[in-house]
Amino acid sequence: MYLKIVINQIYIMNISKNITGIQRYMDPIFGIIASPFIILIAILVDIITLPTILLRECDEFEMKYQ
């Protein structure tokens, strides 16, 4: 996932012709620095919320998705 984010940021930097100067290079740098934290937060949210969703009683689960 991290590699995909970095490659996507570099691709966006290459195709953005109307942005000049340092702003063009700030987006990939921000993506490289911030994406590990975003991935970590997403994994932690999944670890916290998935057990409550998966361990529900089947009656409640079936009623919600019918």
Segment 5-29, tens digit of pLDDT: 888 888 888 887 777 777 777 878 8
In angstroms, what is the C-alpha Rg of the chain? 19
Of 9-18, 26-35, 43-52, 56-65, highest mean pLDDT:
43-52
Helix axes 2-15, 23-54, angle to 10 degrees: 150
- Structure token pair of residue 2: 């991290």
- Give the global pTM: 0.60
Counting the structural domains of the chain, the total is 1
Q: Which range marks the domain in which residue 7 is found?
A: 2-64
Q: What is the mean pLDDT of the chain?
A: 80
**Distance from chain centroid for Cα 47:** 15
Residue 23's CB is within 10 A of a number of other CB atoms, namely 9
What local confidence, expressed as pLDDT, does residue 41 receive? 94
